[in-house]
DNA sequence: GCCCAGGTATAAA
DNA sequence: TTTATACATGGG
């Protein structure tokens, strides 16, 4: 995606390839908040960002070029032509038009592996507003102040905490899961950094040794935290996505499975043949 | 009060 | 191998 350096920061001519609301509110991430002017504020690592849409121009406010190239380019996956992929797919596979339209502008973020793992452990049997609340309290309690945000606490920051210490998060039964995940990651028993390239099945098995990590949390961690677009058994999950959301829904409503649909599209493009579940 | 939320562990069939 | 239930919490 083309970018230019301006007095406002980095500007992108994204067109339909980047919709901020769709991207931040589809359930793949939990720490980006809309402000009163329609921009979104968040923090990745120790880098805060405000990003907004000025009539189709996406502006990364006051971001130096070096930081853009080393962090945000990859975080927002700006080197992948999502819109082009969607157009190609719509042409090849008209029956997916409804699904394709519903995920217009969603980009798959490259979140930090530990943050993604921890976030999706918290997400189980939970709703998005409450997930965001628990994660916010987790960062305020155990992260460190960074501008107007808090960093996400590391696994070693959390590994020696007791369930009692996590009680103020009001995470319920998930508190023990968070602690177990922190212990296993901090000890090296679960090696997140190697999962960028390790065989997918090995990654799944390793993640699922953590208490409270099942199929869903493992897949979400791999897709959103390690950018493994080969994650998700798409033929299974797409059927669920199609049946729950893509028939006759309000086009303005984002599917909770939009991320799965997006991933399906990448899978489809790579393989060029429709999957059975798309019939 | 009741239902459910982007699930998982556990026990039972 | 598949199916039912509890699990903490809080918003609608």
Which phi and psi angles does A208 have, rounded to 5°?
-80, 0
Sequence-ordered list of residues with C-beta below 8 angstroms from that of A44, at least 6 positions apart, any chain:
A71, A75, A111, A112
pLDDT tens readout for residues A72-82:
999 999 998 88
- What is the arithmetic mean of pLDDT over A147-155? 97
Q: How confident is the model at residue A190 (pLDDT cuts 50, 70, 90)?
A: very high
Q: How confident is the model at residue A84 (pLDDT cuts 50, 70, 90)?
A: confident
Q: Closest nucleotide (CA of A172 to C1')? A: C8
Q: How confident is the model at residue A251 (pLDDT cuts 50, 70, 90)?
A: very low
pTM across the whole model: 0.90
Residue A258 burial by Cβ neighbours in a 10 Å radius (0-12, 13-18, 19+) = buried
- The half-sphere exposure of A134 on its side-chain side, counting CA atoms within 13 A, is 23
Q: Closest nucleotide (CA of A163 to C1')? A: C8
Enter the tokens of residue A5. Answer: 């350096």
pLDDT value at position A254? Answer: 39
- The half-sphere exposure of A80 on its side-chain side, counting CA atoms within 13 A, is 21
Strands A33-34 and A40-44: antiparallel
**CA at A224, C1' at B3: how many angstroms apart?**
30
pLDDT value at position A247? Answer: 36
**CA at A43, C1' at C9: how many angstroms apart?**
26
**CA at A6, C1' at B11: how many angstroms apart?**
62
On whether the CB atoms of residues A116 and A229 are closer than 8 A, the answer is no
| Dihedral Cα A48, A52, A56, A57, nearest 10 deg | -50
As a whole number, the mean pLDDT across chain A is: 86
Determine if residue A170 is left, alpha or beta; phi over 0 gives left, psi from -120 to 50 gives alpha, anything else beta. Answer: left
Residue numbers of A annotated as active site: 216
Rounded-to-integer distance, Cα A73 and Cα A63, Å: 11
């Amino acid at each position: 995606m083309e970018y230019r350096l301006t007095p406002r920061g980095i500007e992108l001519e994204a067109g339909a390839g980047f919709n901020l609301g769709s991207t931040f509110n589809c359930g793949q991430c939990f720490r980006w908040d809309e402000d009163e002017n329609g921009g979104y504020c968040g923090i990745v690592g120790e880098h805060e960002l405000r990003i907004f849409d000025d009539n189709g121009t996406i502006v990364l406010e006051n971001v130096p070029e070096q930081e853009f190239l080393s962090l945000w380019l990859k975080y927002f996956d700006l080197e992948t032509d999502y819109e082009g992929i969607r157009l190609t797919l719509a042409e090849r596979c008209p029956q997916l038009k409804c699904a394709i339209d519903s995920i217009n502008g969603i980009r798959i973020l490259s979140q930090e592996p530990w943050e993604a793992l921890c976030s999706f452990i918290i997400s189980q049997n939970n709703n998005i507003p409450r997930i965001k609340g628990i994660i916010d309290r987790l960062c305020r309690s155990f992260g460190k102040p960074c501008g107007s945000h808090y960093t996400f606490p590391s696994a070693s920051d959390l590994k020696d905490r007791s369930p009692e210490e996590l009680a103020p998060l009001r995470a319920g039964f998930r508190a023990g899961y968070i602690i177990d995940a922190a212990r296993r990651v901090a000890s090296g028993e679960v090696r997140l950094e190697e999962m960028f390239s390790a065989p997918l099945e090995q990654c799944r098995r390793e993640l699922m040794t953590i208490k409270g990590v099942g199929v869903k949390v493992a897949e979400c961690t791999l897709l959103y935290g390690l950018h493994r677009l080969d994650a998700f058994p798409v033929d299974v999950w797409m059927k669920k996505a199609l049946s729950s959301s893509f028939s006759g829904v309000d086009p303005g409503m984002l599917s909770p499975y939009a991320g799965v649909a997006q991933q399906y599209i990448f899978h489809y493009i790579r393989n060029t043949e429709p999957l059975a579940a798309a019939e």
